[in-house]
Each structure stands twice: as C-alpha cells, then as structure tokens.
Amino acid sequence: MNSSVPTAASSRVAVAAYYFPGFHVDPRNERDMGEGFTEWKLVKESRPRFEGHRQPKVPLWGYRDEAAPAVMEQNIEAASSHGIDCFLFDWYWYEDAPFLQRPLDEGFLGASNVDRMKFALMWANHDWTNIFPLGLREASPLLHPGAVSKPVFAHLAEHVIERYFSQPNYLKIDGRPYFSIFQLQKFLDGFGGLKAAREAVEEFRVRVNNAGFPGVHLN
C-alpha cells in the first residue's frame, strides 16, 4: 500500500481524523479510576442538565471494546468508506510506561482490513489529570506529568521506529514518517531546555535515517 499523502499536483487532499483511544480497559486507568474503567462509564452516567437535554446518549453500535480487532475493522470500514484516509492516533508514553496503546497495537494493527487505512502518531505528551468527570469550578488533580527525560525519549523513539514506522500503511510525507508532538513546552521541560531538546530531536532523526528512511516529518 502506498502510505504517502497525495502530492501538490494531485487532485485530492488526504483527510486524517484524530482518534482518541479511551474506550477500552487499560491497566493505568484501572489503577487510577477503578477496575474495568473506560470512558464509556462517563457516557453511561451522563444526566440531563436542562429541559430538552437528551442524556445519556446510547451508541448505535453499543459500548464496544476498541482494542478488539473486529471492532476496529468496523471503524476502518466506516471511516474509509466515507472519505477518511488516515487515523492519527492520540498516543501516550509517560516517564514510567506507555498508556492507552491497546486499540492501536491490538485492535487497529490486528484488523483484517488494516490495509484500507493509513495511520500515524500524535504523541499526546500533556499532563494526564483527573477529569472523569470534572465540575466547572473544580481543579483537575494531576495523575501523570507529561514531560519525559532524555533516556525515556530515546527508548520511545526506538519503539516508534521499530513498531510503527516500519508498518507499510504508516503515513509518510515524501517518504518521511509523520510524527506529531502535542505540547512543545512539555517536551522542552523534560530535557531542561532548548539545547538538550534539540540534541534529542537530532538523535531521533539519525535513528530514523539509520532505519532506512530519508528523515522524519515532525509536526
């Protein structure tokens, strides 16, 4: 499958949809929020707040486990049949471990029709706070800080190159794998400043080159 986006000369623009993987059981969420927690709990417990407010909403496809390949196959079929070319996964990796990766690793990459859809990563390196739910005037307690150290970023980089960039349907621009960083300031904070962060990015580029790619497309 050609995983590069259409060129400037092409008549069609590629469309990517952000995908937030909050509707499956993750060990970190279970530690923080209780056994079996998924964000379906918030959907089920929504209540009307004013006249005519229709809550809770009941999904037509049911309360599905998005880490199951059969569920992701349905997502891929629906999206690709309606003009979506790529899932841009919210992808989490904190100082101590990755987070919310089962829908991509088990569901999407395990789907029988995965070749119909490109994918790429947006490293969601923001602080993870307890907003499940959160009142209007309540502070959101910090659960996991988003900044990571240089050794952790190096491990993260090796993982994405080996596990994801090598996939035939990973999104590439001019042959370069696309990788997005959500919060630049958190990235700088983890390294203690601009100089060390720049060095880490340059080392990332070298690793990508050594893996046989012409570079990495950073967003």
pLDDT digits (tens, 9 = 90+) for 80-107: 999 999 999 999 999 999 999 999 999 9
CA 165 to chain CA centroid, nearest Å: 14
What was the pLDDT predicted at 12?
Answer: 78
Residue 5 has pLDDT above 90, yes or no: no
Give the DSSP letter of residue 163: I
Q: What percent of the chain has pLDDT over 70?
A: 95
Mean predicted confidence (pLDDT) in 111-128: 98
Can you name the residues that pair with 93 across neighbouring β-strands?
Answer: 98
Instruction: Report the sign of the C-alpha dihedral through residues 38, 76, 104, 158, in that order.
Output: negative
Q: Residue 7 gets which letter from DSSP?
A: P
Distance CA 60, CA 81 (A): 18
pLDDT at 135: 86
Say which residues have a Cβ less than 8 Å from residue 162's Cβ, sequence separation at least 6: 211
Q: Please state, in angstroms and as integers, the Cα–Cα distance from residue 11 to each residue in 5, 96, 147, 169, following that order.
A: 12, 45, 40, 21
Please report the pLDDT score of residue 44 as a whole number.
97
Q: Compute CA distances 187 → 96, 147, 194, whole Å.
A: 16, 6, 9
91 beta partners: 123
Q: Read off the pLDDT band of 1 (50, 70, 90).
A: very low
Helix residue ranges, H only, the chain: 27-33, 40-44, 69-80, 102, 150-160, 184-191, 194-210
DSSP 155: H
CA angle 166, 98, 204 (to 5 degrees): 50
Q: Say if strands 86-93 and 118-123 run parallel, antiparallel, or are unpaired.
A: parallel
pLDDT mean across residues, the chain: 94
Residue 120: name the closest of 159, 88, 98 by CA.
88
Q: From start to end of the chain, where are the E strands?
A: 16-19, 86-93, 98-99, 118-123, 128-129, 142-144, 172-173, 176-181, 217-218
Q: How far is CA 143 from the centre of its chain?
A: 18
23-77 pLDDT per residue, tens: 999 999 999 999 999 999 999 999 999 999 999 999 999 999 999 999 999 999 9
* Residues paired with 178 in a beta bridge: 217
